[in-house]
């Protein structure tokens, strides 16, 4: 639906009134009505770095989800304020690993006497608490672009990896890029004693995968791939590594959102692509490349419902609160957590 012209005018007016004081970040999965006001767009990691590159901006309005705003707060200076236009914009994957559950898991590993040989690797899509846990135990953060390098590094530091919170990115990277077997990966279920695993399984695994997943990417099935290949002969199937292993195995290309964007830019005119990632991004790419046939991999619609909570009314409300000098929805990470999380992020930046 087209955006309310009144709200569009108010958003522009507030943005103009704030000038350089405000910097608006728009994640690729955000609605078009929001993205039109973004000073930059990107994936979560790029956006956090873009925020850090703007020390003059007093306010960072993060149009994305909660863990992304936390990362921006960790990477920006103390005088800058990071705002999330709707506090209910969480991430179901990040919520699947709480600090308490992860500490319990670590206690299990310590009781088995293996904690000192396990290196935690946490996906960017995790809370600041989980990033801090990772930093405390000498691990690293990774994104979907550098997961292979992160795992390779981790296996040089220790014998086993605890991968949080996305089982699919962990499994896909370990098996497809590092050449581990599926049997060398075990799934740790935080709702069961000892993760639902035996001591032998925990001791013998190379990869201990946390039982988390993305509710959006997890919806693509192998049947979606078969269906689209039947509907569009010769179609190229391009998916995000948060998709299930059996989906990724059937795809032609696998990569992060930035990879997907570049692949479609470089694609031949007239070529056909079925894309398995969030629908706002797929629609935007289809509109940007009318000379290519770009379709969504699933037959039904599938937005990230929490990303979509950030809409034009919330953005206007947030910007106008800044104009009024009464900022709403500030996201802060306490200094101790931020410091430990920062060390895990630094480790990622130092990956060979």
Q: Please state whether beta strands 22-27 and 40-42 pair in parallel, antiparallel, or not at all (unpaired).
A: parallel
Nearer Cβ to ligand SF4, position 4 or 311?
A: 311
Least distance between ligand SF4 and beta carbon 34 (Å): 14
Ligand-binding site membership of 44 (annotated): yes
Joined together, the tokens standing for residue 175 give: 């098996």
Of 294, 158, 275, which is closest to residue 217 (Cα–Cα)?
A: 275
- Residue 215's binding partner among ligand SF4, ligand CIZ, none (Cβ under 5 to 8 angstroms by kind) is ligand SF4
In angstroms, what is the C-alpha Rg of the chain?
Answer: 21
The residues that touch ligand CIZ, with contacts defined as CB under 6 A, are: 43-44, 124-125, 143-144, 214, 242, 257
Q: Does 308 bind ligand SF4 (CB under 6 A)?
A: no
Number of H helices, E strands in the chain: 16, 13
Burial of 233 (0-12, 13-18, 19+ CB in 10 A): exposed
Q: x-or-dash pattern for ligand SF4, window 221-260, by CB under 6 A?
A: ----------------------------------------
Nearer Cβ to ligand CIZ, position 125 or 172?
A: 125
Non-local CB neighbours of 208 within 8 Å, separated by 6+ positions = 109, 118, 160, 161, 162, 163, 186, 188, 195, 202
Nearer Cβ to ligand SF4, position 125 or 347?
A: 125
CB contact at 8 A, 34 and 315 = yes
Q: Does 125 bind ligand SF4 (CB under 6 A)?
A: yes
Ligand-binding site membership of 125 (annotated): yes
Strand partners, 61: 24, 83
| Alpha-carbon gap, residue 86 to 305, rounded angstroms | 12
Non-local CB neighbours of 326 within 8 Å, separated by 6+ positions = none
Angle, helices 128-136/66-75, rounded to nearest 10 degrees: 50
Burial of 263 (0-12, 13-18, 19+ CB in 10 A): middle
- Residue 124's binding partner among ligand SF4, ligand CIZ, none (Cβ under 5 to 8 angstroms by kind) is ligand CIZ
Strand partners, 42: 27
- Residue 43's binding partner among ligand CIZ, ligand SF4, none (Cβ under 5 to 8 angstroms by kind) is ligand CIZ
Q: Which of 65, 154, 161, 302 binds ligand SF4 (CB under 6 A)?
A: 65
Q: Does 272 bind ligand SF4 (CB under 6 A)?
A: no
Nearer Cβ to ligand SF4, position 29 or 133?
A: 29
- Segment interacting with ligand SF4 (CB under 6 A) among 11-19, 87-95, 170-178, 185-193: 87-95
Nearer Cβ to ligand SF4, position 92 or 293?
A: 92
Nearer Cβ to ligand SF4, position 160 or 306?
A: 306
Q: Does 152 bind ligand SF4 (CB under 6 A)?
A: no
Interface contacts to ligand SF4, rule CB under 6 A: 29, 65, 91-93, 125, 214-216, 278, 304, 306-307
Binding residues for [4Fe-4S] cluster, as ranges, are 91, 214, 304
């Amino acid at each position: 639906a087209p955006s309310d012209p009144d709200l569009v005018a108010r958003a522009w007016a507030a943005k103009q009134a704030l000038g350089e004081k405000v910097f608006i970040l728009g994640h690729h999965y955000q609605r078009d009505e929001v993205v039109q006001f973004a000073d930059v767009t990107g994936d979560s990691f790029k956006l956090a770095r873009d925020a850090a590159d703007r020390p003059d901006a007093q306010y960072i309005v993060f149009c994305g989800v909660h863990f992304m705003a936390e990362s921006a707060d960790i990477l920006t200076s103390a005088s800058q304020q990071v705002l999330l236009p709707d506090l209910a914009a969480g991430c179901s994957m990040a919520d699947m690993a709480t600090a308490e559950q992860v500490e319990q898991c670590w206690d299990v590993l310590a009781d088995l006497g293996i904690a000192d040989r396990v290196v935690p690797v946490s996906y960017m899509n995790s809370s600041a608490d989980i990033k801090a846990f990772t930093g405390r135990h000498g691990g690293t953060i990774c994104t979907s672009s550098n997961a292979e390098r992160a795992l390779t590094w981790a296996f040089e530091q220790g014998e086993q990896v605890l991968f949080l919170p996305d089982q699919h990115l962990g499994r896909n990277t370990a098996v497809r890029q590092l050449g581990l077997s599926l049997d060398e990966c075990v799934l740790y279920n935080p709702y069961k004693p000892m993760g639902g695993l035996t001591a032998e399984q925990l001791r013998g695994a190379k990869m201990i995968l946390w039982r988390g997943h993305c509710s959006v990417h997890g919806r693509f099935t192998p049947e979606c791939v078969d269906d689209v290949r039947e509907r569009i002969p010769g179609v190229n199937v391009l998916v995000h590594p948060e998709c299930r292993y059996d989906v990724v195995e059937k795809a032609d290309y696998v990569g992060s959102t930035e990879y997907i964007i570049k692949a479609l830019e470089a694609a031949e005119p007239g070529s056909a692509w079925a894309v398995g990632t969030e629908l706002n991004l797929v629609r935007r790419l289809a509109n940007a490349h009318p000379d290519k046939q770009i379709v969504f991999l699933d037959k039904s619609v599938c937005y990230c419902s929490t990303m979509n909570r950030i809409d034009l009314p919330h953005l206007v409300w947030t910007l106008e609160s800044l104009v009024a000098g009464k900022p709403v929805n500030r996201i802060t990470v306490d200094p101790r957590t931020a410091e430990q999380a920062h060390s895990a992020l630094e480790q990622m930046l130092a990956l060979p």
